[in-house]
Structure 1
Amino acid sequence: MNWEQLLSLKRFGDTNKRLRKEQDETRLGFEVDYDRIIFSSEFRSLQDKTQVIPLSQTDFVHTRLTHSLEVSVVGRSLGRKVGIKLLEKYPHLQNIHGYHANDFGAIVASAALAHDIGNPPFGHSGEKAIGEFFKSGAGKKYKEQLSPKEYQDLCDFEGNANGFKILTESRVGREGGLRLSYATLGAFMKYPKESLPKKPTKHIADKKYGFFQSEKEAFLDVVTDLGLISRSETDISYARHPLTYLVEAADDICYTIIDFEDGINLGLIQEEYALEYLIKLVRNTLNIQKYNELSNTQDRISYLRALTINTLINEAVDIFIKNEEAILKGEFSSALLDKSMYEAQINDIIKISIDNVYNSPEVLDKEVSGFEVLKTLLHIYTTAVNNNFDGTLTEFDKIILKKLPNTINTEEESLYKRLLSVCNYVSVLSDSKAIMEYKKIKGLSFNI
């Protein structure tokens, strides 16, 4: 892979190549990507979606939106720092083609901003709930009418693939989705493969999948333009865009440290754990006098968090540059922080978060409720949409169809696309909206 091709400014529908040196410096193409994501309705819905603590009423616990903004900020720093070093190594990128270090930052920031845009309500349990509906619930009856890959898409409903669908799916008046640059789309794709075969290797790019069968053509268009390396002779599987490693590192840094911080602020993790584990990461940069002057838990944890994030940003940049040639060849097979000198400390922090936050009664109780909400919505909506297509509508189905948006094509001949459109609609609901729709269906929203 080569950087000139990887930094493509092309957008869906372009017939001519967009040259970096011809860009308007006041609003660069990669920065337009950021703007389009920010103003999308799908991004706005993240303000009421679970990060870790579902439906928390406290003002310091992160939602998917605040998490995405923070990942974007970290990603921008990672991209700029890497960009400076790459332009020193490949001066022609700047001297001939006009690229700047901030371009790398803008691409990573945009991809990082969108990294959770496809996640359904109720966190990762929402993905599992949708998958279970088709794997062992009422949706299992559709298995024989779908191809193996179509059915696997539904059984392992994946937020990353759904995100790619949101960013690229054409509909009337919105051809090409958000029409992001292919560089940003490439950096967004953490798992550039289809749902089958499942985890064929231990390579990080094979951990999950990155596109639904409905977006296969769009995916192939992007990877071809970027010159990504094919990793399979029989199935659709490609090496990652190099900047994807930075998007992933930004996410890893934020959820590792900030979920830990949320747990401490909620009282689920004792402060002394934070001191013990975070200080191990910042011994060389900690100002003891300043730290001792901080009078409350939140300020002390915030100070350690800021130092820790800075430490891990510099660590990730060093690992990326050290392995850049292997990354360009598609031969780097792990996440950047898996190669970190702080891997043991990071794993210790994650384990504490799993034990005390992710598996806390508050989280588990609301995940159970989320399963029931999504199972009910999927059953009611898929039944109505398919009964409409089959000409067997009930009176209840007719009412439900009036409530569904016209983004669901009830006349679509493909059963797979009908089912996927319902899943996509449910996935973009906020936590509160999903619960409200569930209560309406169950007759629990009347004021008597």
Structure 2
Amino acid sequence: MNWEQLLSLKRYGDTHKRLRKEQDETRLGFDVDYDRVIFSSAFRSLQDKTQVVPLSKTDFVHTRLTHSLEVSVVGRSLGRKVGTKLLEKYPHLKEVHGFQFNDFGAIVAAAALAHDIGNPPFGHSGEKAIGEYFKIGKGIKFQSQLAPKEFQDLCDFEGNANGFKILTENRKGVDGSLRLSYATLGAFMKYPKQSLPKKPTNHIADKKYGIFQSDKEAFTDVANELGLKATGEGENIRYARHPLTFLVEAADDICYTIIDFEDGINLGLIQEEKALEFLINLVKNNINREKYNLLQYREDRLSYLRALSINTLIKDAVRIFLENEGAICEGTFSVGLMEKSKYKAQIDDIIKISVEKIYNSDEVIEKEITGYHVLQHLLNTFITAAENYHTDSLSNYDKLILKVLPENVDYATDHLYKRLMNITNFISTLSDSKAVSLFNKLTAKTL
């Protein structure tokens, strides 16, 4: 893979190349990507989607929106630092093509901003709730009517693949959805493969999947324009990652490691004294003890250690990327950047505490159970009504249910996979509170 292609400014529907040297420096194409994501309704819905604690009413706990903004800030720094060094290594990128170090930062920032845009309500438990409706719930009846990869898309419903759909799917009058640059779409794709075969290798890019069957054409168009290395055979569409994807992933890893931990402290789930000890252990070689000892309040101590921790991990991620840039561009670097961090032991200690004290806390588990119940009920209600529509057996209740669906949700299509995906995608775009509110209306209950 080569950087000239990987930095493509092309957008869906373009009939000619967009040259970097011809870009308006006050409104660079990669900056436009960021703007389009942040003004999208799908991004705004993240303000009420779970990051750590579902349905939290505490103002200092992160949502998917605040998490995504923070990941984009870290991603921008990673991209700029890497871009500076790459332009020194490959001077023709600047001298011939006109690329600047800020371009790398803008691509990573935009992709990082969008990285959770496809996540359903209630975090990763929401993905599992949707998947299990089809895998072991009432939706299993559709297995015999769908192709294996179509059914697998539903059984392993994946927020990354759903995000690519949201960013690229054609709608009436809106071709290419947000029409982001292909460089940003490439950096967004953490798992550039289909749902089957599952985990064909131990490579990080094969850990999950990132493309629904409905979006294969858009996916391969982006991959081929960017010159991503094909790693699949025959009908198994699979590619190596865009190199900048490793920076998007690292930004996410850094933020959830440090900031989820911070949320646990603020929620009282992790003792402050113990928590600060873990953070100090991470930054012990960089901490200014005199400055730290002057801080009287927990908020200030935590803020100082958070900033220092993030900066420490940013520098380390940049080092790892640059040392392995050749293997990354060959598609042979097989793990996330932070797996090679010299601070991995400290990171693992922090994550272990987060799992024990936050992710497995009673509050989180109880609300995830609520999420399961809500999402599976909504799926069954809307899918049943749509199926009754197609078998001419609509009840008056079904008719009312279908009127609740937004007009852009096509339940009338004769293509079963598309019908199921359209309804599932609609439910996935609901915020946590909207999903609960809709559940309450349909059941005349209050959760």
**Which residue of structure 2 aligns with residue 13 of structure 1?**
13
The alpha-carbon deviation at position 173 of structure 1 amounts to: 2.0
Tell me if the contact between 1:274 and 1:301 (Cα under 8 Å) persists in the aligned partners.
Answer: no
The alpha-carbon deviation at position 57 of structure 1 amounts to: 1.4
Q: In structure 2, how many angstroms separate the alpha carbons of the residues matched to 1:224 and 1:406?
A: 34
- The alignment status of 1:431 with 2:432, answered yes or no, reads yes
**Which residue of structure 1 aligns with residue 368 of structure 2?**
367
**Which residue of structure 2 aligns with residue 45 of structure 1?**
45
SS for the counterpart of 2:195 is: coil
The alpha-carbon deviation at position 289 of structure 1 amounts to: 1.8
Q: In structure 2, how many angstroms separate the alpha carbons of the residues matched to 1:24 and 1:119?
A: 33
Tell me if the contact between 1:71 and 1:250 (Cα under 8 Å) persists in the aligned partners.
Answer: yes
Task: Describe how 1:127-138 pairs up with structure 2 within 5 A.
Answer: 127-138=127-138
The alpha-carbon deviation at position 280 of structure 1 amounts to: 1.7
Q: In structure 2, how many angstroms separate the alpha carbons of the residues matched to 1:355 and 1:298?
A: 23
The alpha-carbon deviation at position 272 of structure 1 amounts to: 2.0
- The alignment status of 1:306 with 2:307, answered yes or no, reads yes
One-letter code of the match for 1:83? G
Q: How many residues align?
A: 446
The alpha-carbon deviation at position 60 of structure 1 amounts to: 0.8
**Which residue of structure 2 aligns with residue 26 of structure 1?**
26
* Identity across matched positions, percent: 71
**Which residue of structure 2 aligns with residue 180 of structure 1?**
180
Q: In structure 1, how many angstroms separate the alpha carbons of the residues matched to 2:200 and 2:148?
A: 16
Tell me if the contact between 1:377 and 1:438 (Cα under 8 Å) persists in the aligned partners.
Answer: yes
Q: In structure 1, how many angstroms separate the alpha carbons of the residues matched to 2:445 and 2:350?
A: 41
**Which residue of structure 1 aligns with residue 113 of structure 2?**
113
Q: In structure 2, how many angstroms separate the alpha carbons of the residues matched to 1:230 and 1:250?
A: 25
Tell me if the contact between 1:71 and 1:254 (Cα under 8 Å) persists in the aligned partners.
Answer: yes
The alpha-carbon deviation at position 337 of structure 1 amounts to: 0.5
Q: In structure 1, how many angstroms separate the alpha carbons of the residues matched to 2:21 and 2:392?
A: 56
SS for the counterpart of 1:305 is: helix
**Which residue of structure 2 aligns with residue 192 of structure 1?**
192
One-letter code of the match for 1:217? E
**Which residue of structure 2 aligns with residue 281 of structure 1?**
282
Task: Describe how 1:31-430 pairs up with structure 2 within 5 A.
Answer: 31-234=31-234, 235-430=236-431
The alpha-carbon deviation at position 59 of structure 1 amounts to: 1.2
One-letter code of the match for 1:332? F
Q: Deviations over 1:173-214 (max 9, x none)?
A: 211010000000000000000000101111000000001000
Tell me if the contact between 2:411 and 2:423 (Cα under 8 Å) persists in the aligned partners.
Answer: no
Q: Deviations over 1:103-142 (max 9, x none)?
A: 0000000000000000000111000000010011111111
Tell me if the contact between 2:411 and 2:422 (Cα under 8 Å) persists in the aligned partners.
Answer: no
Q: Deviations over 1:377-403 (max 9, x none)?
A: 000011112221222211111001111
Q: In structure 1, how many angstroms separate the alpha carbons of the residues matched to 2:12 and 2:26?
A: 22
The alpha-carbon deviation at position 48 of structure 1 amounts to: 0.4
When structure 1 is superposed on structure 2, of 284-293 and 166-175 the one drifting more is 284-293
The alpha-carbon deviation at position 273 of structure 1 amounts to: 2.1
When structure 1 is superposed on structure 2, of 164-173 and 288-297 the one drifting more is 288-297
Q: In structure 1, how many angstroms separate the alpha carbons of the residues matched to 2:390 and 2:21?
A: 51
Q: In structure 1, how many angstroms separate the alpha carbons of the residues matched to 2:295 and 2:34?
A: 36
Q: In structure 2, how many angstroms separate the alpha carbons of the residues matched to 1:36 and 1:400?
A: 32
One-letter code of the match for 1:245? F
Q: Deviations over 1:394-445 (max 9, x none)?
A: 1111001111012211221210110011111001100000000000010136
Q: In structure 1, how many angstroms separate the alpha carbons of the residues matched to 2:38 and 2:25?
A: 20
TM-score, normalization: structure 1? 0.98
SS for the counterpart of 1:333 is: coil
SS for the counterpart of 2:122 is: coil
Q: In structure 1, how many angstroms separate the alpha carbons of the residues matched to 2:443 and 2:116?
A: 29
Tell me if the contact between 2:34 and 2:109 (Cα under 8 Å) persists in the aligned partners.
Answer: yes
Q: In structure 1, how many angstroms separate the alpha carbons of the residues matched to 2:300 and 2:366?
A: 30
Q: In structure 1, how many angstroms separate the alpha carbons of the residues matched to 2:416 and 2:202?
A: 33
One-letter code of the match for 1:115? H
TM-score, normalization: structure 2? 0.99
The alpha-carbon deviation at position 56 of structure 1 amounts to: 1.2
Q: In structure 2, how many angstroms separate the alpha carbons of the residues matched to 1:428 and 1:124?
A: 14
One-letter code of the match for 1:59? D
Q: Deviations over 1:37-86 (max 9, x none)?
A: 00100000000001011111111100000000000000000000000000
